[in-house]
Structure 1
Amino acid sequence: MSNAHAQSAGGGNMIEELVITAEKREQSLQDVPVAVSAFTSERRDLIGISSVQDITNFTPGLAYSAGTDRISLRGIGRLTNNLASEPGVATYVDGVYTSSTVEVGRSPLFVDRVEVLRGPQGTLYGRNSIGGAINAISKRPTNDFSGEIRASYGSYNRRVLEGTVSGPITEGLRYRLGASMTKQDEGWFHNIAGGPDEGDIRDEKYFELQVEGDLGENADFWVKAARGKYDNRSAPGGRTGGGLTPQDTALITPGGLSPASGYGFAFGQNILALGPARNSSFVTTGGDLTAFSTNANTFNGVRDYSSQIQVNFNYHFDEMDLKYIGGFQHYKYALQSDFDGTALLSYTIPLNPGITSATQCNPTFVALGICRPLVAKPNVVSLYQENKEWFSHELNLTSTNDSPVQWILGAYVYNEKYKQPFDITLPDQAELATPSGAAANPRRIIYYTDQAMESWSRAAFGQVNWQFTDTLKLTAGLRYTADKKKGVESGRLFCFGCSAAVDPRVLGSFTPVLDITTSTFSGTRPAGNTDPQKGVIGPAVTDAATGIRRRGLYDTWDAVTGTLNLDWTPDASTLVYAKYSRGYKAGGFNSGTITAFPETDAEHVDAYELGLKKDWSGSLQTNVSAFYYDYQDAQVPVATQPAVGPSTSIFYNIPKSRSMGFELETIWQPIENLQILFNYSYLDATIRESCCIQDGADPAAAQPGAKPVSSLAAVDPITGAPTSRGQDLSGNHLPVAPRNKVAFNANYTWEFEPGSLTGSFSYVWRDKVYSSIFDRPYYEAPARSQIDARLTWRDSDDHYSVILYGKNLTDEQDFDTMSATRQTGFNASGVYNLNRTYVLVPPRTYGVELQYRW
């Protein structure tokens, strides 16, 4: 489907040539020796590809986690939202790098096409393209006055209004002005506690202005300025929810809190042991996956307008073009959520689970006063923020003559600055404001981290294509990249109700609020470990006035990447290629937590690929690719839970992984006006070598299938707590890498004198995926499928269209991703509980869209 362009009027749907810029020069998709999926605005409208997830469904090897807004290709991608570790798939808008995937899913009214380049793009793209690159290309100003207005209404009171106008300003100068507004008032997650509903509730605005002009006969320019904001009530891809279950069963039922296991919270202190046996006001969801019960509103958005400026300048010499590509972007993002996941506002708790009165305590501890109850106000609110700006400059010099040798040279500069604060507060817990013997805490924070970082990237590259016979072409490219990161990380942590944090046989005193910043955010190496702490600038220091602990970080990385490719074109309709690519992603930091070893090494991949692109008599087109990756030092976050302190992530380099697979894209037009699209991908992305990593949800490595590398007992005989044991991960899957994926679409156009009617039917199926490097049932999102359909009426003059659409017509309650965390503390049986977090795909939705063009 990747190179089809729909022509609904005057001849039916036809397989036409699609011109793309995957190699930074205009070429037919079928002539480019790269595995590319391309989606034109016409194709997106016809099939109903309106989001990043839809693009994912129809792109072999591409995976997207809607709940975390992370994307991966052929098993390589981003596994953390920590900005000190970049994504593994580079996203570009009109050639300018961006760390966000939002632009990829923007309306077809604004985006002319989206190109997804699979495999390392280590020569022409470079930065963070170790897994591939995605480029969204904007629609440009027109020479004639024209415009379009679109309005749609759909399920959950969703309204979209957008429009553009374009035309000449003066001779040689053109403009394009566009705006859009999206609102949705009703969510498909309902709050049974009486608070506002959530789930895809939206309030979004976007504006853009483009100016394009000719500067004499040899030069031209293009400028785009855009602003946008959104204030939504959900997580990035929709609300996430979860349920609790005893860990030893591994039978975790999503949706609501399990009455049998209760609910525990708060960073190892086990201070909020909530459950129906303890509190009659505790509410469960009754197994309804779309129900939740909270009292703090969730929102995510860019509430202040983000700003984006992009500039292109071209100068055309006799046999070469000089092109400048520049861009700047700034945004402030915030995500607030109800961290305790309940609507409880007050609860009186004893010392530990199972102890309901002081008479059950040892008389020695009664005398110390540590068995007294504590009133907790479990209104726990988390706030995650990003304040980020970046700019880039790129110069390309490209040959334009008829020589059998074609080349491109380039230089690239990138710089970004950001702050990424995250805090968890108990705003109703007055004790937290004045901790004993520590700096004041007026916001009543229990957990706080931040990082103020800056990164630089510089690169130079070149690629040469040599057509040394009529049918054979050799391509060789090299790129040198140097990266640098520098900044300061900060953190502060409180232990509230510390007597409930550990077993009373260990604790000797009671402190309602204890500042444990120094001990938790220490960055100190374990005793006896003399390994250098790469990237650390000096020891961590606590600010006496604020209680915040800080430490500096700095390091540099560089690499040579490139490609070597041999093309064979035995005839005008066939392309066979064999390709080697070297990919690289800079090292990063687990910044914000002041851990002992915060730095991760750079990633590298050696990729080998065979491809065939073939047109069969104009009615059938097949693109096939097979690949093998030797993937080294993948950067993976691993959750850890100490006995006292927050659950945190360490960054770990998996020494060796392997990714291999097969991908097929086909378009078949068996009769006039009927097109059938079929895509299939097989992906085996597995860990080949990785040892001694602890599963935060199963620290004892006691679950079926775990391969512990320690002979220690799974459970401590004194405390009953699981004993931490690392695991051998060889043979496990890389996260969010479905083994099989299928996409099918059939569309048929009936033509009448007043216009045409096109029916489109889509079916997609994705295999199960794991959201972790541990292949466990509690990290597994089962296989899922989806059916969509559309009817499009288009008048014969191409002035208006009417579209009726339905998505997820069978209303499947499937999961996008699934994860689990261990609840702090253990129950009376000495078994930890798991909190399983799920991300649901949207339910059945339907609506109507009107388009008018002039």
Structure 2
Amino acid sequence: MTDTVSLKELTPALNFNTNLGGFGQPRIRGIGTTATGPGIENPVATYVDGVYIGSSTGAIFQLADVQQIDVLKGPQGTLFGRNATGGVIQVTTKNPAQDFHMEGQAQYGNYQTWGGSGYVTGGLAPGLAISLAGIYNEQDKGYGRNLYNNSEVQKGWDYGLRGKLRWEAGESTTITLSGDYAKLRRSDPAIRTYQGLTILGIPTPGGKRDIDLDTQPLVATEQGGGSLNIKHDFDGVQLVSISAYRKAKLYTSIDADQTPADLLNFNEVQKDAQFTQEVQLLSTNSGPFKWVVGGFYMWSRGEYDPINTEGTLACGYACADILISQYVKQTLNSFAGFAQGTYTFDRRTSLTLGLRYTSDHRQMDESQVITTTPYFGAPTVLDIAAPTAKKTFPKLTWRISLDHRFSDQVMAYASYNRGFKSGSFQPDSFPPQVLQPETVDAYEVGLKTDLFDRKLRINVSAFYDNYKNLQANQIIQGQLYVYNAPGSINYGLDGDLAFKASRNLTLTAGGAWLHARYKHGFLTPFWSVPIPNAYSDANPFFHAVGGNSVIQCVAGTDYSGTVFAPCDASGKRLQNTPDYTVNVGFDYEVPLASGKVNLDGNLYHNGGYYDDPQNRLKQKAYTLLDASLTYTADKERYFVRAWVKNLTNAFYTEQQNALDVGDNRVAAPPRTFGVTAGFKY
């Protein structure tokens, strides 16, 4: 695993999609979002070294100096950080050490992919240590081509840097200063119209990974920040303070009409900045009562600077050209206090109670500059600003959990959590429109076991989530519109196991079954209905219900575009949520006189899902098989690894979208393979 997107292959009930090539959109047990824009946060929160990353661009990054990754499922917020209704992806990087250590690796693979990473740490003075880490990847050959200009697509480069300074300021105090910076540039998203003809009445030529667009796709992101972590141990209590500042920027350019004609183009510059301050007091005594009390403050600002839509289609052929530039600034001031305590009875039964109060104050400022070019005469410019919009979203949430240890090897638990995702303003609306907060009531029972002298570990859980007021979206004329849906009911099972079958063989497996359906009464305000190339009674593509006021949508296979109408999505499957996933892996080690050889493999099967609420755009079931063969020598100082990802070359997508100019998709990576060599000193 080399990046956060690959986490889904190892984590049951986690699905991970991308949007516009630069926004990461994880979803746990069906809870997540497809929306993007200033002020839009993901219900699955991402943390690096305890620092919350609010921007969706920050959810995608390469893994270089990672020590541990934890995926916490279900609502979080009574122990640390920001509210999270779906769960948490928590990344912990390596801490600097006094003893000198250095490691590095380089790799080369197909599609002219090459790169490497390095890490070094050591002491500068007694009690003062430093670490530096870096990673660079470049792909010089694309997965497909843009047939319009004969340029390759889905290629590019990225790099990341991180530095840490750790000071042991006495026996009781530790201060860690950290900074990081990352940048990415790719010819993505490579959107391809499929399921029939484009709006020009012609099929898209080329293969599954080729496009035919007069605008070359581009996504460029950069992000970085710094944090100060202070820990001080008192008698029986630890004080933790985490201060952090982060910035992120994304630029993307898309051919919104999805044809080689210059009809509609879209590009955006999104800027995000945030400051967070967290303070925790944690009990460290050995008594039966453990507790944590804390406070969390967050200031953030998200901007479109600007978001542009240009082309004849944007004015319905009523003019020769129109350019709509929208400037948006959404700010947040969030204050929260939380507490959680666990009391253990008779060393076997524990009761946990947690409480959190959050107050989010949001402000939205936006304006538009509309430049219209008529067929005859001079262009006209209209500059308008919307009144400033303000709203506060307060909420009390909680956690109740009971667990019992039947033995040192078996523990059962049951929990009830109320989760909350703050409301905000819809970033693409003009004037501003309010997005109401999301809430989830999550019920879970489970079993955790370590059996047969810890050779077999089995964890299994059953859950039921009442997900209310979730935020859905639709793209019209290149712009993303976000709105509230009534919610969904999600329930299912997930679990994982690890088995030390022999001294040399370890087996792992995981799986999830999930029933996630939209609640009844979900009428989308506007959603796509396919326009068939030829109607026939034998193959209808849609039919009207209630005097054409509501459309009951039926999947089609041969159409040239879409129109928008209210659509009844009641009972439909939750988007980007597979009904089931399975992963099976192994590690087999062969000792040698000069070192050892490890054969590793992981098979991931996704049962398929829909990318839209009306369940027209289906990602069919697919299976990914990854494998590697590693030779390690000289007490693990040196290694050489041959690896392959997506061995069977399965075709699946990173995203699919229903648009008024036809449905499109972006292909996920094909089979890739290569060799990596590295050292540790």
Match of 1:849 in 2: 676
Between the aligned partners of 1:655 and 1:736, the Cα distance in structure 2 is 17
Contact 1:598/1:651 (<8 A) preserved: no
**Offset at 1:846?**
0.4
> Structure 1 residues 492 and 195 mapped into 2: Cα distance closer, same or farther (>3 Å)?
farther
> Structure 1 residues 655 and 713 mapped into 2: Cα distance closer, same or farther (>3 Å)?
closer
Between the aligned partners of 1:88 and 1:223, the Cα distance in structure 2 is 28
**Offset at 1:315?**
0.9
Q: Does 1:611 align with 2:528?
A: no
Contact 1:67/1:240 (<8 A) preserved: no
1:164-563 alignment, distance < 5 Å? 164-199=119-154, 201-235=155-189, 239-243=190-194, 252-253=195-196, 258=197, 263-264=198-199, 274-275=200-201, 285-286=204-205, 288-302=207-221, 306-344=223-261, 378=262, 380-420=264-304, 421-425=306-310, 446-493=323-370, 547-563=383-399
Between the aligned partners of 2:614 and 2:672, the Cα distance in structure 1 is 34
**Offset at 1:713?**
7.8
> Structure 1 residues 80 and 141 mapped into 2: Cα distance closer, same or farther (>3 Å)?
same
| Residue identity matched to 2:218 | F
Q: Secondary structure at the match of 2:96?
A: coil
**Offset at 1:612?**
0.5
**Offset at 1:50?**
1.5
Q: Secondary structure at the match of 2:527?
A: coil
Contact 2:191/2:211 (<8 A) preserved: no
Q: Does 1:594 align with 2:430?
A: yes
Instruction: Give the number of the structure whose alpha-carbon radius of gyration is greater.
Output: 1
Between the aligned partners of 1:446 and 1:458, the Cα distance in structure 2 is 39
1:577-726 alignment, distance < 5 Å? 577-594=413-430, 598-617=433-452, 618-639=454-475, 646=477, 650-698=481-529, 710-712=546-548, 726=566
Match of 1:31 in 2: none
CA deviation profile, 1:254-276 (whole Å, cap 9, x unmatched): xxxx3xxxx43xxxxxxxxx456
Contact 1:392/1:415 (<8 A) preserved: yes
| Residue identity matched to 1:242 | T
Match of 1:570 in 2: 406
**Offset at 1:695?**
4.7
| Residue identity matched to 1:614 | T
Contact 1:480/1:560 (<8 A) preserved: yes
CA deviation profile, 1:661-713 (whole Å, cap 9, x unmatched): 10010111222211111111001111123343245311899996978653238
Between the aligned partners of 2:193 and 2:529, the Cα distance in structure 1 is 17
Between the aligned partners of 1:756 and 1:78, the Cα distance in structure 2 is 44
1:134-149 alignment, distance < 5 Å? 134-149=89-104
Q: Which has the higher strand share?
A: 2
Contact 1:691/1:726 (<8 A) preserved: no
Between the aligned partners of 2:549 and 2:193, the Cα distance in structure 1 is 30
Between the aligned partners of 2:392 and 2:340, the Cα distance in structure 1 is 26
> Structure 1 residues 339 and 724 mapped into 2: Cα distance closer, same or farther (>3 Å)?
closer
| Residue identity matched to 1:624 | V
> Structure 1 residues 723 and 133 mapped into 2: Cα distance closer, same or farther (>3 Å)?
closer
Contact 2:10/2:583 (<8 A) preserved: yes
Contact 1:770/1:817 (<8 A) preserved: no
Q: Does 1:839 align with 2:671?
A: no
CA deviation profile, 1:509-555 (whole Å, cap 9, x unmatched): x878886xxxxxxxxxxxxxxxxxxxxxxxxxxxxx75244332210
> Structure 1 residues 671 and 103 mapped into 2: Cα distance closer, same or farther (>3 Å)?
farther
Q: Secondary structure at the match of 1:480?
A: strand
TM-score in terms of structure 1 length:
0.73
CA deviation profile, 1:6-59 (whole Å, cap 9, x unmatched): xxxxxxxxxxxxxxxxxxxxxxxxxxxxxxxxxxxxxxxxxxx11223211211
| Residue identity matched to 1:210 | K
**Offset at 1:110?**
1.1
> Structure 1 residues 707 and 129 mapped into 2: Cα distance closer, same or farther (>3 Å)?
farther
> Structure 1 residues 414 and 112 mapped into 2: Cα distance closer, same or farther (>3 Å)?
same
TM-score in terms of structure 2 length:
0.90
> Structure 1 residues 293 and 287 mapped into 2: Cα distance closer, same or farther (>3 Å)?
closer
Between the aligned partners of 2:214 and 2:15, the Cα distance in structure 1 is 33
Residue 609 of structure 2, aligned match among 758, 769, 780: 769
CA deviation profile, 1:157-203 (whole Å, cap 9, x unmatched): 1111221211000000000012222211110111223342111x222
| Residue identity matched to 2:636 | D
The structure, 1 or 2, with the larger RCO (C-alpha pairs under 8 Å, 6+ apart) is 1
Q: Secondary structure at the match of 2:111?
A: helix
> Structure 1 residues 631 and 342 mapped into 2: Cα distance closer, same or farther (>3 Å)?
closer
State percent identity of aligned pairs. 25
| Residue identity matched to 1:770 | Y
| Residue identity matched to 1:205 | Y
| Residue identity matched to 1:800 | Y
| Number of equivalences | 658
Contact 1:490/1:551 (<8 A) preserved: no
Contact 1:126/1:479 (<8 A) preserved: no
| Residue identity matched to 1:173 | L
> Structure 1 residues 722 and 815 mapped into 2: Cα distance closer, same or farther (>3 Å)?
closer
**Offset at 1:312?**
0.5
Point out the more displaced range, 188-197 or 600-609: 188-197
Match of 1:804 in 2: 642
**Offset at 1:242?**
1.4
Between the aligned partners of 1:726 and 1:592, the Cα distance in structure 2 is 19
Contact 1:713/1:723 (<8 A) preserved: no
Residue 822 of structure 1, aligned match among 657, 660, 664: 660
Between the aligned partners of 1:685 and 1:604, the Cα distance in structure 2 is 16
| Residue identity matched to 1:226 | D
CA deviation profile, 1:642-663 (whole Å, cap 9, x unmatched): xxxx575544322242110100
CA deviation profile, 1:65-87 (whole Å, cap 9, x unmatched): 13452111111111211223321
> Structure 1 residues 668 and 704 mapped into 2: Cα distance closer, same or farther (>3 Å)?
farther
Between the aligned partners of 1:580 and 1:413, the Cα distance in structure 2 is 25
Match of 1:54 in 2: 6
Q: Secondary structure at the match of 2:428?
A: coil
Match of 2:558 in 1: none
Q: Which runs of 5+ in 1 are unaligned?
A: 1-48, 244-251, 265-273, 277-283, 345-377, 498-509, 516-544, 716-720, 824-834
Match of 2:556 in 1: none
Between the aligned partners of 1:85 and 1:390, the Cα distance in structure 2 is 13
Q: Secondary structure at the match of 1:55?
A: helix
Contact 2:55/2:272 (<8 A) preserved: no
Contact 1:58/1:679 (<8 A) preserved: yes
Q: Secondary structure at the match of 1:292?
A: coil
Point out the more displaced range, 482-491 or 687-696: 687-696
Between the aligned partners of 1:329 and 1:840, the Cα distance in structure 2 is 31
Contact 2:348/2:404 (<8 A) preserved: yes
CA deviation profile, 1:699-737 (whole Å, cap 9, x unmatched): 89999697865323899xxxxx99975333221111111
Point out the more displaced range, 685-694 or 56-65: 685-694
| Residue identity matched to 1:562 | W
**Offset at 1:105?**
5.9
Contact 1:86/1:128 (<8 A) preserved: no
Contact 2:278/2:297 (<8 A) preserved: yes
Match of 1:12 in 2: none
> Structure 1 residues 101 and 142 mapped into 2: Cα distance closer, same or farther (>3 Å)?
farther
Superposition RMSD on alpha carbons, in Å? 2.8
